[in-house]
Structure 1
Amino acid sequence: MTGSFAQFSLRVLIAIALVVCALLIWQLQSVLLLIFAAVVVAVVLDAFGNALRKLAPVPEGVSRLLAGILIASVLIGAALLFGRQISAQLSQLGDTLPPAWENFVDWAGPERVESVIDDFAPDGTSLASMVQTMFGALTDALSGLVVAVLGGVYIAINPKTYHKGAITLLPQRARDRVDAASRKTGKALRDWLLAQLISMLATFLVVYLGLTVLGVPSALALAILAGLFEFVPLLGPVLGAIPAVLIAGTVGIDTALWTIGFFIVWQQIEGNAVAPLAMKFAVEIPPAVTLFCLLIFGVLFGLPGLLLGGPLTVVLWMAIKTLWVEPRVSG
């Protein structure tokens, strides 16, 4: 009787501990997402560091630090060369988008647009407050990006220390399997990020050339937005096309229709040619799984969850595959 009561008490304590851990994780979700973003940055630096080590025999930590300096130099150089033009176009974009939205509302019908907004917005929420909330979320995301980049640099300088420390926290019997799974997951994440980078760069170049030919104002700024949105799988291309179509509508209905057709054609080319080629050596995840994971992460964590939904899906997919599916299939 005493043994049964002791086992029951132990199970209750374990259940309470699991609930407390779940609540603690939920309260720290923003911090955990920042840590994950830092890991993503470290993976990017590691990939570039590996490429540098093939060119010059330098230590791992130094190669990753040089990779970070090189990336920062390229970004700063691009900002110095095109900063004034980008700043002017972004300012013009900020001035043009509100009238473009008003033109769209007039064309679609104010009552119909308000009905759609009411369906998606909470009770009592106006469009202005939604936009204000969105800009606040973007500001928080940018400040979080700075922290993530700094954390990623620290992790990338000596990743083995953090990896070994995390593995040491696990029970002895699980360390080898988790260690092997984490290495496979890291490689899959690195390959996925490289594939996304190729797609983002291709989207930026094609959209810039296409919008310039079509005569859409602020083509460079719109191309940058489209390239950045490409980081979000499935939903990103649609989000990147919306500002361009709205701005094209200020030029004329013909330009807007040509812009819509251009994005449809490019997404077909990108989805059927560029992306499969870029993903050839990366992890392949069924589109439905990616879509539902993005929606889940977006609902749970908001904008940061949506932005990090792609790499989170890759990590979750590989963790389940290597820790759960493969051992049972091989067993």
Structure 2
Amino acid sequence: MIAEVKRAAIWLGMALMIVGAIVLAQPIMLIIGGLVFAVILDGGTRLLGRVLPIGRGWRLAIVTLAGFAFIGWTFFYAGTTLAGQAEELRSVVTAQSERLMGYLRQSGLMPQGDLSQVGSQMLGGVGRLTTALSTAAGAVSSILMVLVIGIFVAIEPKLYDRGVAWMLPTARRHGFYDLSNKVGFTLRRLMFGRIIGMVVEGVGTWLMLLAGGVPMAALLGLLTGLLAFIPNIGAIVSGLLMVAVGFSAGTDAGLWAIATYLVVQTIDGYVIVPYVARRTVDLAPALVLAAQLIFGALFGLLGLLLADPMVASAKIALEEFSKRKSDNA
């Protein structure tokens, strides 16, 4: 009788967890986003400590202020210098998309219909967070929540570790601390590699497009660097934008844009990504892409952005549990 009650309690608890994850999807994803941001701040603070022997609080303040200063400069530069190019980019992409759709219709590869209807169908399967983040106020408040959570956690990460460990049985707490340290170490290396990849892709794209005379090189470099935070999908989107703008200026510029994309992605795929994988956790590209599709459909934009660190954390946890089970066997 007791065994049956335990089984029923386990199934009931799992059902409640699933329902809670669905109902609380938005705050859960915001909390995870804040934790990932805290990992980035903590990693920068630790890295700065290797060259600047001052207190952790001062190092964290320097990293935080430098990050916000860079973000502010990026938006200011994009708003003042690249505002006209952004409007031009939108017009170019729209015109190139209409040309492509027209060619596909003439070739019989696509049914007749409005391009906006196709776009609506492609964006139809979004999750709960898309609605929550659809307005400017929702987006700003969500970003602020992620930033605030990240800063508070980064100030004293061990405080929150102890808070979670306190809810666990005493015998499990030491294992939790070990797992937390391993996950934190992995995510710090993963985010560091991601930032390096963003810088390399952004700057490399800008310089190569500028050398090839492709229009809007600075804006395309900025967008490529930002989109590099999203594995797989970000590279595809930036590549399509790059090629569309290149061919709008002529065949030579279009071919140069394709060459730029291939060179930059080759360096990132064969130099940066393998190095990061060796130092962190080796994730299969198909696994990451599948997670992005699933989390993006369930949780919207934040699910797409956070799929990679969530999968990496889950893999580290599963490997650790498997190792402990083998040791105890």
- Is the pair's TM-score, using the shorter chain for normalization, greater than 0.5? yes
Question: Is 1:48 matched with 2:39?
Answer: no
Q: Which residue is equivalent to 2:178?
A: 180
Secondary structure of the 1:90 match is helix
Change beyond 3 A, Cα 1:282–1:99: same
Structure 1 residue 68: deviation in Å?
A: 0.5
The answer for unaligned runs of 5 or more in structure 2 is none
- Cα distance, 1:54–1:30 mapped onto 2, change above 3 Å: same
Aligned twin of 2:83: 87
- Conservation of the 8 A alpha-carbon contact between 2:243 and 2:258: yes
SS state of the match for residue 232, structure 1? Answer: coil
Which whole-Å CA distance do the structure 2 matches of 1:16 and 1:326 have between them?
Answer: 29
- Distance in 2 (CA, whole Å) between partners of 1:213 and 1:308 is 34
Measured after TM superposition, the shift of residue 216 of structure 1 is: 2.3
Number of aligned residue pairs: 321
**Bigger mean CA deviation after superposition, 134-143 or 106-115:** 134-143
Q: Which of the numbers 12, 18, 39 marks the counterpart of 1:16?
A: 12
SS at 1:127 equivalent: helix
Secondary structure class of the residue paired with 1:31: helix
Partner of 1:74: 70
Is the 2:104–2:110 Cα contact (8 Å) retained in structure 1?
no
Q: Answer with 170-179 or 184-193: which moved more.
A: 170-179
Using a 3 Å threshold, how does the CA distance of structure 1 residues 269 and 59 change in structure 2: closer, same or farther? closer
CA offsets 1:144-181 (integer angstroms, 9 cap, x no match): 33321122112111222212111212222222112101
Uncovered stretches (5+) of structure 1, i.e. residues with no partner: none
| C-alpha displacement of 1:260 | 2.1
Structure 1 match to 2:32: 36
Letter in 1 for 2:19: L
Amino acid at match of 1:263: Y
Corresponding residue of 1:299: 297
- Measure how far apart 1:113 and its partner are: 6.6
* CA deviation after TM superposition for structure 1 residue 80, in Å: 4.6
Q: Would you say the 8 A contact 2:295–2:304 is kept in 1?
A: yes
TM-fit CA distance, 1:112: 5.3
Once the 2 structures are TM-superposed, how far is the Cα of residue 31 of structure 1 from its aligned partner?
1.0
The answer as to whether partners of 1:141 and 1:304 remain within 8 angstroms in 2 is no
Relative to structure 1, is the Cα distance of residues 116 and 297 closer, same or farther in structure 2, using a 3 angstrom cutoff?
Answer: farther
Q: 1:114 deviation in Å?
A: 4.5
| Worse-superposed segment, 77-86 or 108-117 | 108-117
The more displaced of 13-22 and 306-315 is: 13-22
> TM-score, normalised on structure 1?
0.85
Q: Is the 8 A contact 1:103 1:250 kept in 2?
A: no
- Give the residue type in structure 2 aligned to 1:200: M
Give per-residue Cα distances to partners, 1:43-97, cap 9 Å, x unaligned: 1111111233334443323422331012112333455556411223223222332
How far apart, in 2, do the equivalents of 1:201 and 1:141 lie?
25
The C-alpha deviation readout for 1:172-194, integer Å capped at 9, x for no partner, is 22221121011100000000100
Does the alignment pair 1:326 with 2:317?
no
Q: Is the Cα contact below 8 Å between 2:40 and 2:191 reproduced in 1?
A: yes
Using the size of structure 2 for normalisation, the TM-score is 0.86
Measure how far apart 1:103 and its partner are: 2.1
Cross-structure match for 1:214: 212
The aligned residue for residue 225 of structure 2 is 227
Moved more, 132-141 or 80-89: 132-141
Seen in structure 2, the aligned counterparts of structure 1 residues 8 and 328 have a Cα distance that, compared at 3 Å, is closer
- Tell me the residue number matched to 2:306: 308
Q: Which residue of 2 aligns with 1:98?
A: 94
- 1:264 match: 262
Note closer, same or farther for the CA distance 1:14–1:211 as it changes in structure 2 (3 Å cut): same
Aligned letter for 1:163?
D
Give the Cα–Cα distance (whole angstroms) in 2 for the partners of residues 59 and 53 of structure 1.
8
Residue 117 of structure 2 corresponds to residue 126 of structure 1: yes
Instruction: Return closer, same or farther for 1:53/1:297 CA change in 2, 3 Å cut-off.
Output: same
> What is the aligned counterpart of 1:194 among 186, 189, 192?
192
Say which is worse superposed, 272-281 or 133-142, in terms of deviation: 133-142
Q: Identity over the aligned pairs, expressed in percent?
A: 25
Structure 2 SS opposite 1:283: coil
Deviation, structure 1 residue 115 = 4.5
